Amino acid sequence: MATSKESSFSYALSSNAAWAGYKAHQNPNFFPNLASGQSPQIQTIILGLQPGDVFVHRNIANIISPTDINTSAVIEYAVAHLKVKYVMLCGHTSCGGAAAALGDSRVGGVLDTWLTPLKAVRTAHSEELAAIRDDKARAVRIAELNVEAGVKVLMANVVIQEAIKERGLEVHGCLFDLTSGRVRDLGFGTGKSAGMFGATEDVVRGNHGMLVFRAGNASMTIR
């Protein structure tokens, strides 16, 4: 559980870092293999939290569209009815949607229409993206820019605006790195995570080691 001096969002990032370190110790090939092909279950466990702690909505290429009634319904239910304290928009590396948006060929069917906002991100940042010579680095960058664009849509949502004003709802844009298992706060939204952690120590034990959260850091001790 997060301490009084530590936000639930910061705790989630710390828990994720510990989970990533522990998972890499258990299986050094886990994240390299994950980066080469997605695993449908990964998004539900990367934060190292309990079932029910996170209300999750997913879609192809992590696109937040103001005209998508499905996403809008999820936002309204989570923010207005569940009264969540944090909205975390999390993209990821090795994204097929990002690769498709960077390419010039059609994907086919309704996917081309769905990826239009991501194509618009590419056009808006064409010079910056063209200057990145490494294909993987370019794909990571457009994924970050896509998160930024999505956060702007979230910040314009009236339900979120009211919650920010009335009860201090926080909006954070993040990126999940499939090669390391780490979630990185990109600093988009209501502000960067404070990074303040309590002095107490929380432990998550496993068969091959012990994960320790202490004073803002997450580490793994093999015992």
Domain locations in the chain?
Answer: 8-221
At residue 193, the pLDDT reads 44
CA distances from 169 to 35, 85, 154 (A): 32, 5, 12
At residue 202, the pLDDT reads 38
pTM for this model (two decimals): 0.68
Task: Record the tokens describing residue 214, joined without a space.
Answer: 């202490």
At residue 197, the pLDDT reads 28
Looking at domain 8-221, its CATH superfamily turns out to be Carbonic anhydrase (3.40.1050.10)
Sheet holding 210-214, edge to edge: 202-205, 210-214, 217-221
CA atoms within 13 A on the CB side of 126: 6
Spatial contact of 93 and 181, defined as CB atoms under 8 Å apart? no
At residue 199, the pLDDT reads 31
At residue 40, the pLDDT reads 43
Q: Which long-range contacts (CB under 8 A, 24 or more apart) does 198-205 make?
A: 198/2, 198/3, 198/4, 198/5, 198/6, 199/3, 199/5, 200/3, 202/1, 204/15, 204/18, 204/22, 204/48
**CB under 8 Å to 171, separation ≥6 — which residues?**
86, 87, 89, 151, 154, 155, 160, 164, 188, 189, 190
Q: Identify the burial level of 36 via C-beta atoms within 10 angstroms of its C-beta, where 0-12 means exposed, 13-18 middle and 19 or more buried.
A: exposed
- Per-residue confidence of the chain (223 residues) as pLDDT tens digits? 444 445 777 777 677 677 677 666 667 766 666 665 554 443 344 455 555 567 788 888 989 999 999 999 999 999 999 898 889 898 998 888 999 999 988 888 899 999 999 999 999 999 999 999 999 999 999 999 999 999 999 999 999 999 999 999 999 999 988 888 788 899 999 975 433 223 333 333 344 444 444 545 555 444 4
**CB under 8 Å to 195, separation ≥6 — which residues?**
10, 216
